[in-house]
Amino acid sequence: MLESQNFLVFIVDIPGGENDSSNLAKFVCKHKGGAVDISGSAWRILNSSWIFLGNVFGGKVNPREEAVIILQQVLDNKRSLTQVFNTHFQGKEVRSQSLIKEMCYGVLRFYSKLDAIANRLLAKKLKKKDEDIHFLILLGLYQLLEMRVADYAVVKETVNVTLLLKKAWAKDLVNAVLRNFQRKKETLLKDIQQEAVAYYAHPAWMLCVFSEDWPQDWVSIVENNNIKPPLTIRVNLKKVTREVYLAELIEKGWEARPHAWMSSAILILSNVEVMQLPGFAEGKVSVQDASAQFAGTLLELSPHQRVLDMCAAPGGKTMHLLEQEDSIALFAIDQDASRLLRVEENLKRANLQATLICADASKQETWWDKRYFDRVLLDGPCTATGVIRRHPDIKWLRQQEDVEKIVTLQRQLLHTAWTVLKEGGILIYCTCSILKCENVDQIREFLSSHQDAEEIKIDAVGGVEVSIGKQILPSFENDGFYYVKLRKKRSDLF
């Protein structure tokens, strides 16, 4: 027993049992009484007087078991992968975090493909209460298909997770399914080519909309949605040139190159943690896709203008506007208080200042002081169909019936943005969507109902020319984004 000023640490030698093949040390951190349940594969806190030190055996975690738990949270509880990661890893030092994330992203990226293969290998569908075993099978299939891990190790380690899940009965089942896949791999992969949902790893409704909106590009879109994207950063050009920073990255031995058409963007192809980036903590660089960096270049900012950033979280565009012109009076609104904290943290990191408002941006009566804005950036809520490669859970969480609700909300926000914009002012409307109903069609309707609105053509390299605005489609170099630039005419001109 080790004693410290605030708590006692007990080291307990536990004989091997159902979930451990050898004696394992368990660490319990106790603070003034209480009780703890040590059954199962994780400590459960029964009293607030206990301090949670981490997961089970010897303080270690099993990455495959953790991945199954996370996948259940996303697919069964309909929570975003980012949200689950944030809560799951909070306060934990998990050495295998990158492996866990790789497996979760991978299964979600190819979910319908893996699911189709698993269903062909299972004699009958597993019960609802055994969905964890189904997810474990998908995890094993993903490793065999996409990861550089020896097949025998994949099978062995995946099968062992059945014991950690307290489902020893499934051990032979998982083993049989994975070994059967190894034998029938080529035949199974050929079979699923006949099923679009499985082959392209996208839900049917999404494939239909993509093919209708982009008949010449939809195959490229879905293929790019299924690739692992590079880390893209935005260089703060007020602090360092892109060429100098790129040279610094290459000197560290990292593979990196400049983005083709965004002058502040660098693609990092090496596996690098964000906090390892030189100067990140001082705001020299920020993580932001090249397509998203367009916003900061389009507003034609001038000193001391009043600027509104609607739906601002997590703050990448907010920072970029201030990096372009730090004398503007910038107001950043978001209705999610926790996400607005991210904006505050990002601004603080770069030593930038803005007025942050936690409110529903569509209800201007709750936050607007009746003083008009020279510039408004509306990065509207959307289906996020342009950023699937970074957030593959979108494919399975977004439903077709969501689209109409989102379009309605965008319409409301556009109305508010136009109301608070001064005559002669500029509005940038953008979405990380590739659906025309949210983009070109949305703005066409807006222009038809607002005689005081006129489009300013975006003259910039990159993107696809559309009837109104500019559409950027997903590729290896960038996410999908839509932009349109509108000017509010003076009332005496119409």
**Hunting for tokens 């975006």 — which residue is that?**
458
**What does the chain come to in residues?**
494
Encode burial over 192-226: b for 16+ CB neighbours within 10 A, e otherwise: beeebbbbbbbbeebbebbbebbeebbeebbebbb
Is-catalytic flag, 29? no
Active-site position among 104, 311, 382, 432? 432
Contacts (Cβ under 8 Å, ≥6 apart) of 317? 288, 292, 295, 296, 309, 377, 379
Q: How large is the angle between the packed helices 63-75 and 131-146, nearest 10 degrees?
A: 120
Tell me the β-bridge partners of 10. 28
Give the other-Cβ count within 10 Å of 187's Cβ.
Answer: 9
CA dist 471 → 294, 379, 421, 460 (Å) = 11, 14, 24, 12
CA dist 334 → 153, 271, 310, 439, 473 (Å) = 47, 32, 7, 21, 26
Give the other-Cβ count within 10 Å of 344's Cβ.
Answer: 15
Cα–Cα distance measured from residue 422 to residue 19, given in angstroms and rounded to the nearest whole number: 66
Contacts (Cβ under 8 Å, ≥6 apart) of 344? 315, 356
Cα–Cα distance measured from residue 217 to residue 211, given in angstroms and rounded to the nearest whole number: 8
Helix ranges, 147-271 (H):
151-164, 171-191, 196-200, 204-213, 218-225, 242-251
Cα–Cα distance measured from residue 473 to residue 47, given in angstroms and rounded to the nearest whole number: 51
Q: Which residues are marked as active site? A: 432
